[in-house]
Structure 1
Amino acid sequence: MKQCFFLRICTYVMLFSFFTSYAQENKFQHLKSLGGIEEYNYKPNDLQVLLYQDQAAPVVTVQITYHVGSKHEVPGNTGSTHLLEHLMFKGTPKYNPETTTVTNVLQNIGANLNATTWNDRTNYYETIPSDYLELALEVEADRMRNALLLPEDKEAEMTVVRNEFEQGENNPNSILSKEIWATAFMAHPYHHSTIGWKSDIENAPNEKLREFYDTYYWPNNATLSIIGDFEKEEVFELVDKYFSKISKAPKDFPQPYTEEPEQTGPRQITVKKPGQTGVVMTAFKVPGRMHKDHATLGVLNMILSNGASSILNKKFTDNGKALYAYSQLSNFKDHNLMSIGLGLAPDFEHHEAKEELLALVDTIKAKGVAKEDINRVVSATVASNKMSRDGSFAIAGALNEAIAVGDWTDYINRIEKLKQVTADDVQRVAKKYLNIDQSTTGFFIPKNKTGNNEQQEAQAEAFQESSNNELYYRNLNTVRKEQTAATNLNFTPLKKDNPFKYKRQQVSGIDLVTVNTAVDDFITVTGSFNAGESVAKKSNLASITAAMLSKGTSTKDKYEFSEALEKMGTNLSFYSGDFKTGFYFKTLNDNANSVIQLLTEALFNPAFEEEELELIKKQYVGNLKNRLDDPSTLAQIELAQTIYPEDHPNYAKSIEEQIEEIESITLKDVKAFHKSQYLNAPIQTVIVGDVNETEIVNALKKNFPASTKKATSLTYPSKSTKSKKEVSKTIQVPEKPSASLVIAQYTGLTKNDPDYLAMKVGTYALGGGFAGRLMQEVRDKEGLTYGIYANQAGNTFTDGYWLVNASFNPDLIEKGEASSFREINNWIEEGITREELQNKKTNIIGSFKVSLSTTGGMANTILQYLQEGKDPSYIATYPKEIEKLSLKEVNSAIKKYIKPGQFITIKSGSIKE
């Protein structure tokens, strides 16, 4: 009888579970599937749901895209979408500073989270260990309709956003792009930049932000994307659990109806601001992303600017007229610009550059482009598209832009559109759209072209490669590994095993580590050897030697070398730092042997031609001159010179000294450095992905010359002998709207020191990100800065230092300095709490897990361990070492290494005396 009763109960439970599951799934109407992505309509409120399962790693990205961007703003409230995005992190009745904030609760599990605002959309995302999927969905549902949007939060965040605006004003390329868009579009709301005009940022009424939120933040104006490691049934259950409480919007969503009037002639603007390099940019009006010609314009854009064989590179960069050249095609819904830009060498005048650029455009219109060039760029795009599906975050970012223009399937279909493009198509769109009467040209003319001035080379490179998409919303790179404060999770995570398996072996003298992951058909390869600036006799010699490697080999000129890689969709990069020279590439398995052959040709048989060396030197000097008026760079150089003696690897020479030494470098110097440091050098290499070990090992044996030396880790035994007295310095840089503050101390720690991890956790609590004390107090409560962080630096192979760095409006830097020191001194005196310690541990371990979810993330992590003399198994050991740290160890380390009265404080910018 008992058995029958038990069976009856089990039957009831199974039936209840079945009908509950059926009821939930019945609320989700399947609309279509394409490329592994499934689209559903959540019928209770018309929330669009996109699902893409990728169980290569135990990580999932949750992203919600709202179909509202800066184009929905009107004069007077420009920047509202972006300011509202910031306030969405300020809290709800459940998540707020009095309980626990959104950033705290997510970062406590190691989430990589952020939000971005752009012309057509706003998105919020978190990449998390998949155990915590429920938490992410609960957070996003909560803030969809429950954001507090308090006036006091708006006032504090306004100055944060204004500081973000001011940072952009330090960058000539950003300034010029903003001015060109404002001139090209006179009526359409693409006229104003996403960050808004400064006066609107400062004066936007809180009521307007609330009105904007109540108008657009509804489920039927949103797309929820869930990408990565999840079970579909669980997703249906959780979406229904949290989003069913939210109704559709009570009204229709207002849309901009202003049409851009016809442009009847070319336009030109000039910007004169401090800088060192002139810039010319010409932009042509082209149609929206979903127009049939946009893909063809994309092919033309790539032919113009992708690789050594690109038209712009051959026309302007290779002959030394331009320090850099780029073409960009924006990807907006309504209208776009195709922009062609040149960073001018000193002897290339603006008007001459403009005329040559327009003459080049006329040539393309008259003669078209070669079929071979189309095949080259399309083949590269097809291969790189497949390899770009490396981790849920990368997929989410690309999918987000297709969602923004109204058709997520363009994320999949775009490749097929590119494959259909012909040479006739390219010439037709060039004639139709590259029309001088539909163009806007901008000149950036540097003022005060002398003295201490810089704009980082990295900024120019980011501008060239990322299109405009990353100029006016929150920086995706500076807030990746944020941390957290106290939280009380109401979810019990599932514990999923993900054992780390690798193979380490010696192949032709290479210390080789291979890791097989669940990705299909591609691998990521990274490697390095001891050949950095610390062993070079002249400044930047190691870096210039590495740059020469891609400029041709003994069997291929630089165009043949570049084209061979491009056809395989492979970007083989070489780099050199203070201690190491390295290489990195991602390639399809079918091409692995060919890429390895090209890699060895470049490493061991480079062409080393005099003409290429002179061109690279000119570019290096030009880029260094661009660094002569950047407050942050000048502060960092001053810091390194204050901490270290001249013979120390961490010492930094002045920009003027570096330029002088670069100009003295000869081809003989390059060849001598290559011979002494590259040949017979033991190499450490890591390969991660869909690894065919037999083929890889055979390719390495066949192509790499055997080394008789064994790879060793580097250590620098000497310690800085400089005085530990307190130092305060101010560097004046004229007409810079954003100033830099650095507060530092020498610690002498290396990454292998016993106290390193304790200081890492303690420093993380102070300033590791959004949930660090510095961000929560100096940014969030006081609104003094866009970003303030604490780190340990210079400690991979040498005695390092600890620092806090931040940007401030020059009028607020004194107040920012005082607030920073208040938090630093409290941190030293009181240490961190037990609650903070546990939160930082879970945050560091969780974010570490997320960082290993891509082939590149895992490959770079393992290579870093090899360089430090650790075994790859340290991937499993590292979380355990973090977990076992005690509160006493962390707080003792803080007091041991950071001493009141020994701070180095450097302020750099347009600072009032």
Structure 2
Amino acid sequence: MKYKFPIKALFVLFVAILSQSVIGQINSKFEKIKTLEGVEEYLYTPNGLKILLVQDNAAPVVTVQMVYNVGSKYEVPGNTGSTHLLEHLMFKGTEKFNKSKGTSIDTELTRYGAQMNATTWNDRTNYYETIPSDKIELALEIEADRMRNLLLLKEDKEAEMTVVRNEFERGENNPHSLLSKEIWATAYMAHGYHHSTIGWKSDIENMPMKVLRDFYDTYYWPNNAWLTVVGDFQKESLFKMVDTYFGKISKSGHEIPQPYTEEPPQNGPRKIIVKKPGETSVISVAYKIPGALDADIPALVVLAEALGSGPSSVLNKEFVDTGLTYYAFASASQFAENGLFTISVGFDPSKNAEEMNSKLLETVEKVKKEGVNQADIDRIVANLNAQTILGRDGSGSIASELTEYIAGGDWTEYINESKKLSKVTAADVARVANKYLVKDQSTTGYFIPKKSGSNSETAEEAAKRQVEMDGKYFFRNPKMFGNGSTAVNSELDDEILSGNILSNDEFHRKNVAGIDVITKKTGAKGFITVAASFPITNFYDGKVNEMVPTLTTAMLSKGTTKNDKIQFSQKLEKLGVDIYVSSDHDNVTISFQCLSKDLDTVVSLLAEELRYPLFDQKEFDLLKTQFIGNMQNGLSDPGTRGKIALSQALYPAGHPNYSKSIEDVIADIKNAKLEDLKAFHQKFFGPADMHLVAVGDVNDKDLYKAIDKSFENWKGGVKRTLKKYEVQKGDTRTQIVTIPEKPSAELYIGQYTGIQRMDKDYLPFYVGNSILGGGFSGRLMLTVRDEQGLTYGIYSRHDGQTYTGGYWLINASFAPELFAKGKKATLVELEKWYKNGITAEELKDKKSNLIGSFKIGLATTSGMARNILSVVERGEDPDYINQYPKDLEAITVDQVNAAIKKYLDLDKLIIIESGSLDQNGEPLK
């Protein structure tokens, strides 16, 4: 009897064969170029789009990123800032994704909790979204659509121009940004690196639409772009989606023009002086160096570390440890064509700048003559290579790194850079020092403060920002909107709620050497993140010197009884580890990342730092001088002064949320004694109520053994105790903080609520407030910024609620001449929100946003560790992280609107206006 194949089976077989045929046809369009250690490069042959893939299915998160080979170096006078302005306009919409249809790019992405942004720099622009991987198609569709279908409407440009101008003005408030811009403009007179990425103010204000349209039509094509996809995806389905959305776009009908202007020879040293309000003098000496792919760059990177990174560095020993400067650092830029090797110091204005510059140049000559020891180079290289691994925590971090290597000209440096660094010798460092640190090829910049008025960055923050952020401009500055990991339920930001949805069999909890240890093993390969804390809440009683905890934690890195400062720092440096210990009114907080293989050593060093600090008098005196110098920088920073004024208007002195004036803080620093620090350390440091969370490639047995060995017999510490504070809502008032010569002013609107984190109304109020001013999709951003173009950034949040009654605030920045208009627009939106409440649709979208961003937290060990820590600090079980999405989902419109009315009273608002405004709130003449 003949076997009859079922018709249904034949049909299924036919569909499968057809499907495989279609897949084969699609895959044939993707030409594999190369594979290197987990990174795959493809060329989409129909239009020349280049693709980089890094597949990691450990967490349900993916980062989709488009990198365009166009940055500020492609601009010329008349259109400087074009790339950055277009970066902003790329979020304004296409025919399909636009605000009028309710499908704006912001709305569509933030609905699912996406972490999204864009940045512009000298050689490139990137647009990215980290999103739950089941929404990858939406991200690809948006990137394909705005590549060629941007609306580019005049009204959008006019509104966004003032936003970008406010971003420019904010940068002008910062002496480091200002001096760096002037140095690059002086060092490079002809090359495109001459002008800063944000552009010159007159170009920002006057650029015609035709110029922007022509620029867009010239450079925004698939054959001038790289699509990078990192994280959880399946290549076959990804190729199908890429073909669907990018297959509709042809390659450019023209050759992509490249800049051809070369920098003429420099025939002698150059010098510029910037005089503006400030509290700290700054000298930067910059030397011309080659581009990122030059063979000398690895040695220059090592030279910069040897000169200016960490306690062992030459500049730290010569300038900081001797009390000559507050800080000192060095950096080697890695742009595609050429760059600058920059050395900077910040010091008291009473010191002679010329003498300081002479001392700096003498130090450079000494390094050129004597070189750097090979042992120091080996330690530096080990540090850099370990930090490379530790820095790749999550798909977003990896995508960001790939962006810079693409811009530099060869993405394979992402893999090969560490190998090149490992080959650097003392002879190489001496050679590049003598080759490039040449006086005739230098540009020296002086920032001379005229009077009070500077930024409030610490030395470490200033150095980091100078090295990492200089010249890069964001669609929205992530620091303004919490674009990073925040504590679950403590300060849930609209951008990302970092944390993992755990179950009891996925984490382990054990008391080890008196410490509450919680571990969670993830898909991280070869590294661990640790977050820990212990309480100090009952130290503050309104009578103590409030700077003692801060000074104590700062002194921990200044040496131990077993190793001096240099020895201790070098042990950490060769492991690529930074142990961060800090304090606030609630806790001493500790964090570090390390390679799994180094865990025992790092735990031992942590215990040494916590248990046996040296508390050297000379180091303490030096630390106080540095703290005072950095605190003075806030005397005329509009943001710092405004926030202090708000806290003082909301809370009585002695309350944990009350901020002392900068002058009072400086007095506390001066009055602090080493005996105060020792007494604080003796009482509060210990395992009594300490929690330690370890996340990543962690082996419980190894961790427990390391903690047992290093923390054995450690006693002390205190149990958390909470104090009740009586606070009343004050009467409405407006306070003006006048600060001359600041092109950007700050608005604070606030009110005491008394809400605490564990209150039943906390989440309803938080969700409602997030709808008003949380992140990209908040009402304030959508109106005051996106529609009216009055500010670069505006947000609202609730703060200070973890262990005491909190407060609500709105913060925005405006140019002084737009301040009154911006304030009025802000109050209009606030009144609408308060009187009319939120809608069911808004609540639905906000829940989706917060829960989606919660899941995105699965991508990083650091976010997960911090969030678990914040939960257990409050006395809850780590498994509360499972409950949190359910609590969000249960919130109703009535609960939200009732909470808004219950805790706010618009007749009792505190309004602070800080900046170049007179006592009537009008711009200073």
2:515–2:688: 8 Å Cα contact kept in structure 1?
no
Matches within 5 A, 1:61-460: 61-99=63-101, 100-449=103-452, 454-457=455-458, 460=462
1:567 equivalent among 571, 574, 577: 574
State the distance in 1 between where 2:181 and 2:33 align: 39
TM-score under structure 1 length normalisation: 0.96
- Is 1:526 aligned to residue 527 of structure 2? no
Look up the match of 2:738.
732
State the distance in 2 between where 1:497 and 1:650 align: 31
User: 3-state SS of the aligned residue for 1:18?
Assistant: helix
1:380–1:568: 8 Å Cα contact kept in structure 2?
yes
User: CA 1:323–1:429 in 2, change beyond 3 Å: closer, same or farther?
Assistant: same
User: CA 1:680–1:291 in 2, change beyond 3 Å: closer, same or farther?
Assistant: closer
Cα offset, 1:56, TM superposition: 2.5
User: CA 1:610–1:346 in 2, change beyond 3 Å: closer, same or farther?
Assistant: farther
1:110–1:848: 8 Å Cα contact kept in structure 2?
yes
2:274–2:445: 8 Å Cα contact kept in structure 1?
yes
State the distance in 1 between where 2:570 and 2:484 align: 40
State the distance in 2 between where 1:775 and 1:2 align: 67
- Is 1:750 aligned to residue 751 of structure 2? no
Look up the match of 2:850.
844
1:453–1:733: 8 Å Cα contact kept in structure 2?
no
1:775–1:788: 8 Å Cα contact kept in structure 2?
yes
Look up the match of 1:492.
none
State the distance in 2 between where 1:55 and 1:22 align: 24
Look up the match of 2:647.
640
User: 3-state SS of the aligned residue for 2:363?
Assistant: helix
User: CA 1:461–1:436 in 2, change beyond 3 Å: closer, same or farther?
Assistant: closer
State the distance in 1 between where 2:23 and 2:719 align: 58
State the distance in 1 between where 2:30 and 2:231 align: 19
User: 3-state SS of the aligned residue for 1:128?
Assistant: strand
State the distance in 1 between where 2:201 and 2:286 align: 24
Name whichever of 540-549 and 527-536 sits farther off. Answer: 527-536
Cα offset, 1:471, TM superposition: 6.1
2:584 equivalent among 577, 589, 593: 577
1:388–1:394: 8 Å Cα contact kept in structure 2?
yes
Look up the match of 1:628.
635
Look up the match of 1:682.
689
Cα offset, 1:255, TM superposition: 1.1
For structure 2, the residue ranges without an aligned partner over 5 or more in a row are: 486-499, 921-925
State the distance in 1 between where 2:319 and 2:457 align: 21
2:892 equivalent among 871, 886, 889: 886
Matches within 5 A, 1:597-608: 597-608=604-615
2:684–2:718: 8 Å Cα contact kept in structure 1?
no
State the distance in 1 between where 2:163 and 2:475 align: 13
1:456–1:630: 8 Å Cα contact kept in structure 2?
no
Name whichever of 574-583 and 805-814 sits farther off. Answer: 574-583
1:194–1:472: 8 Å Cα contact kept in structure 2?
no
State the distance in 2 between where 1:179 and 1:473 align: 23
State the distance in 1 between where 2:111 and 2:181 align: 37
TM-score under structure 2 length normalisation: 0.95
Cα offset, 1:718, TM superposition: 1.6
Report percent identity of matched pairs.
50
Cα offset, 1:765, TM superposition: 0.4
Cα offset, 1:411, TM superposition: 1.1
Cα offset, 1:470, TM superposition: 3.9
1:531 is matched by which residue type in structure 2? Answer: I
- Is 1:664 aligned to residue 705 of structure 2? no
Q: Deviations over 1:301-327 (max 9, x none)?
A: 111122211111111111111111111
1:618 equivalent among 600, 625, 628: 625
1:833 equivalent among 835, 839, 853: 839
Cα offset, 1:852, TM superposition: 3.2
State the distance in 2 between where 1:680 and 1:415 align: 39
State the distance in 1 between where 2:466 and 2:591 align: 20
1:165–1:198: 8 Å Cα contact kept in structure 2?
yes
User: 3-state SS of the aligned residue for 1:442?
Assistant: strand
2:661 equivalent among 645, 654, 664: 654
1:511–1:711: 8 Å Cα contact kept in structure 2?
no
State the distance in 1 between where 2:5 and 2:823 align: 74
Cα offset, 1:406, TM superposition: 2.0
1:814 equivalent among 810, 820, 842: 820
State the distance in 1 between where 2:866 and 2:467 align: 22
User: 3-state SS of the aligned residue for 1:308?
Assistant: coil
2:771 equivalent among 749, 765, 789: 765
User: CA 1:473–1:615 in 2, change beyond 3 Å: closer, same or farther?
Assistant: farther
1:683–1:711: 8 Å Cα contact kept in structure 2?
no
State the distance in 2 between where 1:106 and 1:383 align: 34
State the distance in 1 between where 2:242 and 2:99 align: 26
Cα offset, 1:783, TM superposition: 0.5
1:716 is matched by which residue type in structure 2? Answer: K
State the distance in 1 between where 2:540 and 2:402 align: 43
1:58–1:498: 8 Å Cα contact kept in structure 2?
no
State the distance in 1 between where 2:702 and 2:690 align: 19
2:76 is matched by which residue type in structure 1? Answer: V
- Is 1:863 aligned to residue 866 of structure 2? no
1:481–1:768: 8 Å Cα contact kept in structure 2?
no
Look up the match of 1:798.
804
State the distance in 1 between where 2:408 and 2:567 align: 38
Q: Deviations over 1:764-819 (max 9, x none)?
A: 10000121110010001110000000100111111100000000000111111110
1:811–1:911: 8 Å Cα contact kept in structure 2?
no
1:901 equivalent among 907, 911, 915: 907
User: 3-state SS of the aligned residue for 1:901?
Assistant: helix
Look up the match of 1:42.
44
1:522–1:589: 8 Å Cα contact kept in structure 2?
yes
Cα offset, 1:478, TM superposition: 2.7
- Is 1:539 aligned to residue 546 of structure 2? yes
2:777 is matched by which residue type in structure 1? Answer: A
User: 3-state SS of the aligned residue for 2:786?
Assistant: helix
User: 3-state SS of the aligned residue for 1:623?
Assistant: helix
User: CA 1:422–1:218 in 2, change beyond 3 Å: closer, same or farther?
Assistant: same
User: CA 1:796–1:628 in 2, change beyond 3 Å: closer, same or farther?
Assistant: same
Name whichever of 344-353 and 412-421 sits farther off. Answer: 344-353
User: CA 1:418–1:860 in 2, change beyond 3 Å: closer, same or farther?
Assistant: same
User: 3-state SS of the aligned residue for 2:750?
Assistant: strand
1:713–1:867: 8 Å Cα contact kept in structure 2?
no
Alpha-carbon RMSD? 1.8
2:98–2:105: 8 Å Cα contact kept in structure 1?
yes
1:278 is matched by which residue type in structure 2? Answer: S
State the distance in 1 between where 2:464 and 2:895 align: 40
User: CA 1:652–1:179 in 2, change beyond 3 Å: closer, same or farther?
Assistant: same
Q: Deviations over 1:550-607 (max 9, x none)?
A: 1111110011100001111111111111111121110111111111111111111111
Cα offset, 1:267, TM superposition: 0.3
Cα offset, 1:516, TM superposition: 0.4
Q: Deviations over 1:315-360 (max 9, x none)?
A: 1111111111111111110111000000113443211111111111
2:228 is matched by which residue type in structure 1? Answer: S
Cα offset, 1:4, TM superposition: 1.5
Look up the match of 1:488.
none
